[in-house]
């Protein structure tokens, strides 16, 4: 009999509060929504955020609408049809002693991440902020140790948001500040869209920010990045090995390194492909590059980690660029960070079908009068340029082309051409 009374009591409770129960005191679950209530006082909200994701992992909505402190690596995987309302602030702690060894290690350039977001059909939105607390990392002694990718296994600067092993993801209306490393990593994923993302990674000390790319895309396809702003000191968007079928449009990039294919061909024996990329309607101000292709040269060593990898770059379009004080508005570097002579060891990456159209504005003058630098160590084929109207503050603009086979398809007169 007692049995039935307990059931009746439970039924009554359910009737009074039909949709709410507390699994963890600080995760409110109900109606398919898991809302994380901050602990406050600088305590780690990470475990409760993970709890919310595990309870709302299928068809649910995770709500992060307040200010959260996170000192636990967020690995949120296996999500299916999940909404994430990030309207508050998620701030990772400045706890290097925890994060460097415990951030999730990925398989490319020692990259690690604070948050690995994975699954199918995920929608993250809400107008909130992701704060990577980068300053402590840039100010740390020896912060620049590590090569190429810039992070190291000994001092692993995490990426605030990685979309990894995921499909059908939309991320919109988000502010991202102070990333210790790349702001966003699209890793082994397909059909991922970012829009209305406002990125700012700026150092307030004399130490510069480090590797603060807006986006890096690796082993991923069908990625769209649009209507976003990036204020940083490195690539706006970087197309890493096996980024294919990518659209980037309506972007405003400030102070960084521009739109960059590569670097590719770093590792001998590896095949790197970047193909079918469209980058359209971009404003770049005080940037190092406009539209760039950056590949390593060759190498005599079978085990080289500084060039010698093969592959190709094909079907890339850079259109409607406005450049304001950009060092290299149009540039191919086919001997990037290569320790041996690229005349003796040309790149093994074949570059073809790269199209530049409607570029206007001014170079910075850092490269004299040169506004175009198409410098190939293996012949580049089917490179075209139209409606290029670039000026140099140092006098009549000059255009450098080496080993480009299609100079008749360029609407400027090359010097040092094939
Ligand atoms: C920085 O590097 C120097 C030289 O390798 C080393 O002696 C020193 O301990 C390092 N400092 C930190 C804080 O890692
Ligand atoms: C990874 O880190 C190790 C040291 O921890 C370093 O030797 C190596 O060069 C780094 N690799 C890259 C690609 O940065
Ligand atoms: C890409 O993902 C979005 C969001 O989940 C979805 O609406 C769209 O249908 C997907 N596109 C394809 C081709 O699967
Ligand atoms: C993106 O920007 C373009 C150009 O300003 C605009 O036409 C479009 O509506 C915007 N898209 C979204 C989803 O905000
Ligand atoms: C180009 O992008 C800017 C944002 O940087 C936007 O305001 C403008 O409307 C876009 N132009 C077109 C034609 O979509
Ligand atoms: C890129 O894709 C090609 C073709 O599928 C593959 O052979 C190669 O291993 C991939 N490279 C990387 C770095 O994933
Ligand atoms: C590039 O796009 C073309 C046309 O859609 C397609 O046939 C080709 O496979 C794509 N290349 C890659 C590497 O995805
Ligand atoms: C080139 O890439 C674009 C996507 O950026 C794609 O629509 C087009 O089909 C590709 N063309 C070829 C010839 O592969
Ligand atoms: C690469 O191979 C050479 C011999 O060909 C060897 O001396 C060197 O130590 C190797 N480097 C690495 C990083 O394995
Ligand atoms: C062209 O590349 C070679 C290395 O292959 C380099 O020595 C030279 O300075 C470059 N010139 C320009 C103008 O980029
Ligand atoms: C031009 O490319 C060919 C191979 O395509 C290479 O043999 C030659 O060394 C390159 N020339 C220069 C000046 O880099
Ligand atoms: C080229 O740009 C300059 C300003 O930088 C402008 O005055 C001129 O009209 C432009 N020429 C063409 C053909 O668009």
What's the maximum distance between 2 C-alpha atoms anywhere in the chain? 97
Dist. CA 138–CA 210, nearest whole Å: 7
Residue 303, Cβ density class (10 Å: 0-12 exposed, 13-18 middle, ≥19 buried): exposed
> Residues 242-266, buried b or exposed e (16+ Cβ, 10 A)?
bbbbbbbbbbbbbbbbbbbbbbbbb
The alpha carbon of 306 and the centre of ligand 2 are apart by a number of angstroms equal to: 12
Q: Which atom of ligand 2 is nearest to the CA of 152?
A: 2
Q: Which atom of ligand 1 is nearest to the CA of 155?
A: 14
Give the pLDDT confidence of 349-360 residue by residue, as tens digits. 999 999 999 999
- On whether the CB atoms of residues 107 and 67 are closer than 8 A, the answer is no
Residue 339 lies in a domain: no
The contacts of residue 368 (CB under 8 Å, 6+ apart) are 392, 394, 398
Question: Ligand 5: which residue has its CA nearest to atom 13?
Answer: 281
> Residues 104-134, buried b or exposed e (16+ Cβ, 10 A)?
bebeebbbbbbbbbbbebbbbbbebbbbbbb
Residue 78 lies in a domain: yes
Q: Which of 378, 400, 401, 406 has most ligand 11 atoms within 8 Å of its beta carbon, as the pocket-test mutant?
A: 378
The contacts of residue 69 (CB under 8 Å, 6+ apart) are 38, 39, 42, 43, 44, 45, 91, 93
Give the pLDDT confidence of 272-326 residue by residue, as tens digits. 999 999 999 999 999 999 999 999 999 999 999 999 999 999 999 999 999 999 9
Residue 103, Cβ density class (10 Å: 0-12 exposed, 13-18 middle, ≥19 buried): buried
Q: What is the value of pTM for the model shown?
A: 0.93
Strand, helix or coil for residue 312: strand
- On whether the CB atoms of residues 90 and 51 are closer than 8 A, the answer is no
Residue 137: closest CA among 104, 160, 121, 115: 160
Residue 91 lies in a domain: yes
The alpha carbon of 153 and the centre of ligand 2 are apart by a number of angstroms equal to: 6
The string of DSSP letters for 203-236 reads -SSSSPP-S--SEEEESEEEEEEEEEEEESSSEE
In the predicted model, is pLDDT for residue 2 greater than 50?
Answer: no
pLDDT confidence of residue 418: 60
In the predicted model, is pLDDT for residue 148 greater than 70?
Answer: no
Dist. CA 51–CA 63, nearest whole Å: 12
Q: Is 219 in the pocket of ligand 6 (CB under 6 A)?
A: yes
Please compute the mean of the pLDDT values over residues 233-240 and round it to a whole number: 98
The alpha carbon of 142 and the centre of ligand 1 are apart by a number of angstroms equal to: 6
pLDDT confidence of residue 154: 81
At 24, is the pLDDT very low, low, confident or very high (cuts 50, 70, 90)? confident
Residue 214 lies in a domain: yes
Please compute the mean of the pLDDT values over residues 343-366 and round it to a whole number: 98
Residue 331 lies in a domain: no
CATH code, domain carrying 173 = 2.160.20.10
Give the pLDDT confidence of 198-229 residue by residue, as tens digits. 999 999 999 999 999 999 999 999 999 999 99
Question: Ligand 1: which residue has its CA nearest to atom 1?
Answer: 142
Residue 354 lies in a domain: no
Alpha carbon of residue 398 to chain centroid: 32
The whole domain housing 84 covers 33-234
Token duo for residue 220: 């991923």
Q: Which of 146, 182, 216 has most ligand 2 atoms within 8 Å of its beta carbon, as the pocket-test mutant?
A: 146
Residue 156 lies in a domain: yes
Strand, helix or coil for residue 128: coil
Residue 5 lies in a domain: no
Q: Which atom of ligand 3 is nearest to the CA of 121?
A: 5
pLDDT confidence of residue 5: 45
Stated as kind and residue range, the H or E segment containing 49 is helix 46-55
Q: Give a three-class secondary structure readout of 176-187.
A: EECCCCCCEEEE
Q: Is 303 in the pocket of ligand 9 (CB under 6 A)?
A: yes
Residue 349, Cβ density class (10 Å: 0-12 exposed, 13-18 middle, ≥19 buried): buried
Q: Which residues line ligand 10 (CB under 6 A)?
A: 335, 342, 373, 375, 377, 400, 402
The alpha carbon of 383 and the centre of ligand 6 are apart by a number of angstroms equal to: 24
- The domain tally of the chain equals 1
Q: Is 42 in the pocket of ligand 1 (CB under 6 A)?
A: no
Q: Which atom of ligand 11 is nearest to the CA of 402?
A: 13
pLDDT confidence of residue 1: 37
pLDDT confidence of residue 417: 74
- On whether the CB atoms of residues 119 and 77 are closer than 8 A, the answer is yes
At 195, is the pLDDT very low, low, confident or very high (cuts 50, 70, 90)? very high
| DSSP one-letter code for 408 | G
Dist. CA 254–CA 323, nearest whole Å: 10
Question: Ligand 7: which residue has its CA nearest to atom 3?
Answer: 276
- On whether the CB atoms of residues 115 and 86 are closer than 8 A, the answer is no
- On whether the CB atoms of residues 190 and 222 are closer than 8 A, the answer is yes
Question: Ligand 8: which residue has its CA nearest to atom 9?
Answer: 276
Q: Which atom of ligand 12 is nearest to the CA of 360?
A: 2
């Amino acid at each position: 009999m007692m049995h039935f009374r307990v059931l009746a009591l439970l039924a009554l409770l359910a009737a009074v509060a039909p949709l709410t129960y507390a699994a963890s005191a600080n995760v409110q679950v109900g109606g398919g929504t898991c809302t994380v209530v901050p602990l406050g006082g600088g305590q780690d909200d990470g475990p409760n955020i993970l709890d919310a994701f595990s309870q709302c992992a299928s068809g649910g909505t995770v709500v992060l609408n307040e200010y959260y402190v996170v000192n636990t690596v967020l690995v949120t995987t296996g999500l299916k049809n999940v909404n994430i309302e990030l309207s508050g602030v998620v701030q990772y702690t400045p706890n290097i002693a925890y994060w460097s060894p415990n951030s999730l290690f990925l398989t490319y350039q020692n990259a690690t991440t604070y948050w690995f977001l994975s699954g199918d059909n995920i929608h993250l939105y809400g107008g909130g902020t992701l704060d990577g607390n980068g300053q402590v990392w840039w100010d740390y002694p020896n912060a620049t140790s590590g090569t190429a990718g810039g992070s190291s296994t000994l001092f692993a600067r995490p990426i605030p948001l990685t979309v990894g092993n995921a499909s059908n993801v939309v991320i919109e209306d988000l502010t991202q500040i102070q990333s210790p490393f790349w702001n966003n990593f699209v890793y082994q994923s397909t059909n991922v869209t970012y829009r209305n993302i406002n990125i700012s990674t700026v150092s307030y000390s004399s130490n510069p920010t480090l590797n603060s790319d807006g986006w890096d895309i690796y082993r991923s396809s069908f990625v769209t990045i649009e209507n976003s702003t990036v204020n940083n000191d490195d690539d706006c968007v970087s197309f890493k090995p096996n980024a294919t079928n990518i659209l980037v449009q309506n972007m405003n990039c400030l102070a960084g390194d521009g739109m960059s294919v590569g670097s590719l061909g770093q590792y001998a024996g590896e095949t790197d492909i970047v193909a079918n990329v469209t980058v359209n309607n971009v404003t770049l101000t005080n940037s190092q590059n406009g539209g760039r292709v950056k590949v390593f040269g060759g190498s005599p060593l079978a085990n080289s980690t500084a060039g010698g990898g093969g592959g190709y770059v094909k079907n890339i379009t850079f259109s409607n660029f406005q450049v304001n004080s950009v060092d290299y508005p149009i540039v191919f570097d086919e001997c990037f960070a290569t320790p041996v002579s690229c005349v003796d060891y040309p790149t093994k990456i074949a570059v073809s079908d790269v199209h530049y159209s409607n570029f206007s504005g001014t170079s910075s003058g850092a490269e004299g009068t040169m506004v175009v630098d198409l410098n190939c160590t293996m012949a580049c084929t089917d490179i075209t340029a139209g409606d290029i109207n670039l000026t140099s503050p140092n006098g009549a603009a000059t255009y450098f082309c080496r080993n480009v086979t299609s100079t008749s398809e360029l609407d400027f007169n090359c010097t040092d051409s094939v």
